A and B are shown apart, each in its own frame.
Chain A
Amino acid sequence: MFKKPAKQLKESLLKLWELIPRWLRNILSAAVRIVLDFWRENLKVPVIAIIFGFLVGALVILAIGKNPLLAYMAIYKSVFSGMRNFSETIAYVTPLIFTGLAVAFAFRCGLFNIGAEGQVIVGMFVTGYIGFTWPHLPPVILLPLAVLGGALAGAIWSGIPGLLKARLGVHEVINTIMMNHIAFYLVNWLVSDPFKAPNYQATAPVPESIRLTKLSDLFSFEPASGHTGIFVALAAAVICYFILWRTTLGFEIRATGFNAGASKYAGVNTSRSLFMAMVISGAFAGLGGALQTLGVRYRVWEMAAFPEFGFNGIAVALIGKNHPAGVVLGAFLFGALMRSDAAIQMQADVPRQVVAIIQAAVIFFVAADEIVRWLVAKRKREVVVHD
């Protein structure tokens, strides 16, 4: 009974498909392929982890005598009710995509880039610096220059620990963390001393000409923080996928991450792969910082504490199983959590830091789930023992 209408539907869909311009078709099919690719790599684990994470959060809320349902409703409302809320959420999601991509990319080579935090900070500063130092350049030059400057700053910030790892074998965890602290103090000093703007705890602003358009302006709804950087972020996710799975460099990076020994046997220059992985990873993070400056902050502000995008990027990457599509989804989740913490406090009278606990619990369950899967996989692939 359904055969005929189904066939008609299929035909009309095909006709519709033909109507779409080729470039858009390619993008759409690429996006679909990426998502399917990710689906295949097992969506189950992170979903379970997220559920358990929220359960833990609920338990903690109950423990202090409050209502978890109220709190979770507050989260939902602050994210989804109305374009304004959604746009505000997008403002949090955007940098998380970048830092998530950064950490995921490095992880593909077996590297732990804990330094996304610092790389974002230097990206923020360098972009701002380029912006307020040469404000009179035409935006068609200044904008790409500022953005690339931020990405480059992140790449260098990550490249230094990368070089130390590739050449000297120094573990990147400690070095990237050190670079975080160095970035924090360095930029704070730059912002409060040589480049301080009068009357602000910040630098001069970037010129209006290169600030990113707000989504509220683009789509005509009440003013909110979300900006066009989100499109750049999504494009970055596609680029990340492309590099990892469509280039020889990405091939070498992934091979080195999985099995450096076999890669060497195959002639891959594993040191170079390690270094390039760190550099590209830092570029993503720096890009995130660049777009924060151009899209939200406009000035480079003195920081009281770490902006947290980098650290949350680690969680996003873990949840997203180090895959660009997963990173985007994970960024939405954590962005929503970051957006909602004020609402949780106001509407459910729960300390906003419960969000941090939920985040941490989710990470733990993702890591813990690895254990379960690992155990299962291990029994399947026991190696034959020889005399």
Chain B
Amino acid sequence: MQAQETPVIQMRRITKSFPGVVANDRIDLTVRRGEIHALLGENGAGKTTLMNILYGLYQPDEGDIYIRGRKVVIQGPGAAIELGIGMVHQHFMLVEPFTVAENLVLGKEPVRRGILDQKRAGEIVRELSQRYGLAVDPRAKIEDISVGMQQRVEILKALYRGAEILIMDEPTSVLTPQETTELIEVMRMLVRDGKTIIFITHKLKEVMEASDVVTVIRRGRVIDSLPTKDTTIDRLAALMVGRDVQMVVDKTEARPGRTVLDVRDLWVRDYRKTDAVKGISLQVRAGEIVGIAGVDGNGQKELVEAITGLSRAEKGSVILNGEDVTNKPPRRVTETGLAHIPQDRQKRGLVLDFDLRENLVLQSYYRHPFADKGILKPKEIDSYARRLIKAFDVRTPGPEISARSLSGGNQQKLIVAREIDRDPDLLIAAQPTRGLDVGAIEFVHRRLIRYRDSGKAVLLVSLELDEILALSDRILVIYEGRIVGELGAGEADEQKIGLLMAGIRHGEGGGGDVQKAGQTA
């Protein structure tokens, strides 16, 4: 259509590294005016980093950016705003106690004789709101309005500053299905108005519905970029997930025994007091690995925290080894037979300033043989630590160094060692291989399988589909706080899971008439 016009955005060979990972690897991106361009990829693929570079929050290590044919250096959000770029972040940049109007005009406030003109601010909000059909209440406080309205405020914020290019990071991850449809309408209308939209997503359905062009990114590289109408959901799913490192793990058939974990109709709220887990029931039996697959933010974190006693369960029950541990303190739950590899190893799994010995007894320091009547036994702790470090091959000069100085992989090995050695009946592993190199990943996987084979129950929660497929005997897919599908190891593949993760009911494929999972419930 507009093939001859200069693309409004061109990013060439953009490279950005952080310690330990290359987030963007020579990425090329071309966006034309008036198109809705989807950036598709899994978590950690590098999409947000790329857009943060475009918005000036990061500086690229290498590469150039051309806006409307002119080479630019975007030093900060202020510069991006001046170039007509606006960004709607995945985690909203809204000041909670302020009103909608105040958030909107922050930094570019209407003023009358030195005083903030609240009335004019309200008018501005109403004008923009009407012009773009985005309903918001200027006087409402952010902490009181719905997530959908918050997002509309974010969009209006960008439009107020004259954004012609709108970047939207995972815009539908917090919306209900109806709100998603409304948002897609809004996007189309903005485009009719002459704007250009880039949206980051992992949801295939929306890519198909909303975008004109899709660029697929995996592990920091562009895999392909093509017009949406020329492709299908299944093809995109395959491109997104890829046939990467073959996670070949020697795995014998599972031989499940008694039920170790029995979760019944569990309801949990997130920190914003909305329901994150909506009536989940599941069982994990001895001798099996149950994997929970799903996109980040669909309730996995809250589910695990409720099982381990760290978050409150509003309704339902958690039964471990036959004992009801619902809402019991964490130590009580672990003593009943649970170990937990937390998803954030640095914040929750380790006390980084403690040495390896102290970290290895973090869960059991108060018990025999590590302590007696409140007095610690350093010799026992030391020999235990040495034994564990050797058995789990943690690379370190000695057990007395601080955990902070270990590499990420070794830190994770430390946690795995600690939790597995406690010999719990149920081991919960949340993102156990996040940020690890291939060798460490292999190690952890082997350990988990070995643990299962010794007759224990393992609950694996992971955002890495490869991992789920390689390890699990049974796979549950979580979406918007519910289990939307269960697959045995034999019948599962990336396609099926990918669709379930993206909210599409198992059994229906691409094209028009797609029923969203959860709507019939």
Contacts and interface: CB of A to CB of B under 8 A. Distances in A.
Direct contact of A and B (CB under 8 A): yes
Contact of A255 (B41, B49, B354, B404): B354
B100 to A, nearest CB: 28
Interface in B374-411: 374-376, 378, 404, 408
A299 interface: no
Nearest to A254: B354
Interface stretch (A21-29, A78-86, A94-102, A259-267): A259-267
Contacts of B71: none
B348 A261 contact: yes
A387 B45 contact: yes
B49 A267 contact: no
B353 interface: yes
A387 B39 CA distance: 12
B46 interface: yes
B507 interface: no
Interface in A237-262: 245-249, 251, 254-255, 258-259, 261-262
A382 B362 CA distance: 24
Interface string B287-319: 000000000000000000000001000000000
Chain A residues touching B, range: 20 to 34
Interface in B29-87: 41, 43-49
B366 interface: yes
Interface string B278-291: 00000000000000
Interface stretch (B188-196, B328-336, B445-453, B469-477): B328-336
B366 A265 contact: no
B49 A246 contact: no
B114 interface: no
A300 B334 CA distance: 53
Contacts of A265: 310, 330, 340, 342, 348-349
A141 interface: no
Contact of B352 (A248, A259, A263): A259
Contacts of A245: 376
Given A254-B354, A262-B362, A267-B331, A384 B19 contact: yes
A384 B347 contact: no
B202 to A, nearest CB: 9
Contacts, number: 80
A259 B358 contact: no
Nearest to B370: A248
A382 B363 contact: no
A311 to B, nearest CB: 27
B351 interface: yes
A258 B352 contact: yes
A263 B41 CA distance: 35
Given A254-B354, A262-B349, A386 B43 contact: yes
A6 B392 CA distance: 41
B435 interface: yes
Contacts of A384: 18-21, 408, 435
B350 interface: yes
A254 B47 CA distance: 40
Contacts of B371: 248
B376 A263 contact: no
A7 interface: no
Contacts of A266: 330, 362-363
Interface string B14-31: 000011110100000000
A246 B379 CA distance: 11
A248 B351 contact: no
B19 A262 contact: no
B348 to A, nearest CB: 5
B132 interface: no
B330 A264 contact: yes
Given A263-B351, A383-B346, A386-B43, A249 B363 contact: no
Interface in A210-257: 245-249, 251, 254-255
B348 A246 contact: no
B160 interface: no
A375 interface: no
A250 to B, nearest CB: 8
Nearest to A387: B48
A385 B358 contact: no
A41 B511 CA distance: 64
A25 B365 CA distance: 28
Contacts of B48: 387
B374 A259 contact: no
Interface string B413-452: 0000000000000000000000100000000000000000
A381 interface: yes
Interface string B259-284: 00000000000000000000000000
Nearest to A256: B351
Interface in A255-297: 255, 258-259, 261-267
A292 to B, nearest CB: 31
B376 A246 contact: yes
Contacts of A263: 351
Contacts of B353: 258-259
Interface string A344-387: 00000000000000000000000000000000000001111111
B351 A262 contact: yes
A382 B18 contact: yes
Contacts of A249: 374
B374 A258 contact: no
Given A246-B375, A248-B375, 12 more contacts: A247-B374, A247-B376, A255-B354, A258-B351, A259-B352, A261-B348, A265-B340, A266-B330, A384-B21, A385-B49, A387-B44, A387-B45
10 contacts: A247-B376, A248-B365, A251-B358, A255-B354, A258-B352, A263-B351, A264-B310, A267-B330, A385-B23, A387-B45
Instruction: Please provide the 3 A-B residue pairs with the shortest distance between their CB atoms, ordered closest to farther.
Output: A267-B331, A387-B48, A258-B353
